[in-house]
Amino acid sequence: MVHLNYMGLSFKDRVYRTTKKIPRGRVATYGQIARLAGNPHAARAVGLFMKTNPHAPIVPCHRVVALNGALTGYSAKGGIKKKKEMLIREGVKFRGDRADLKVSRWKAR
């Protein structure tokens, strides 16, 4: 279980700290990150934070996917194709073009 102690941090900083904890070979959804960072209804904000992530690759925004495992926007060079290549290299399993969440979803609480 991940212990998240984020007293006094902005939601954005909590999102980046939470995302930083996603291990190689695992993915999390935007909604999962929002919930873990303390605002379960802010999945879209998480997406914006991932798009403008100034801390890549320390904060692995490529490990955040849609609720159905789809690889939505990736603003770094190479786009979604590059995101998928990176995830495969890290050991994330796919079913077609979607991350297989049954196998590769991060089990943080």
Q: Which of 33, 61, 87, 92 is catalytic?
A: 61
What string of DSSP letters covers the chain? ------TT--HHHHHHHHHHTPPTT-BEEHHHHHHHTT-TT-HHHHHHHHHT-TTTTTS-GGGEE-TTSB-----STTHHHHHHHHHHHHT--EETTEE-HHHHB----
Note if 105 is an active site residue: no
Catalytic residues: 61
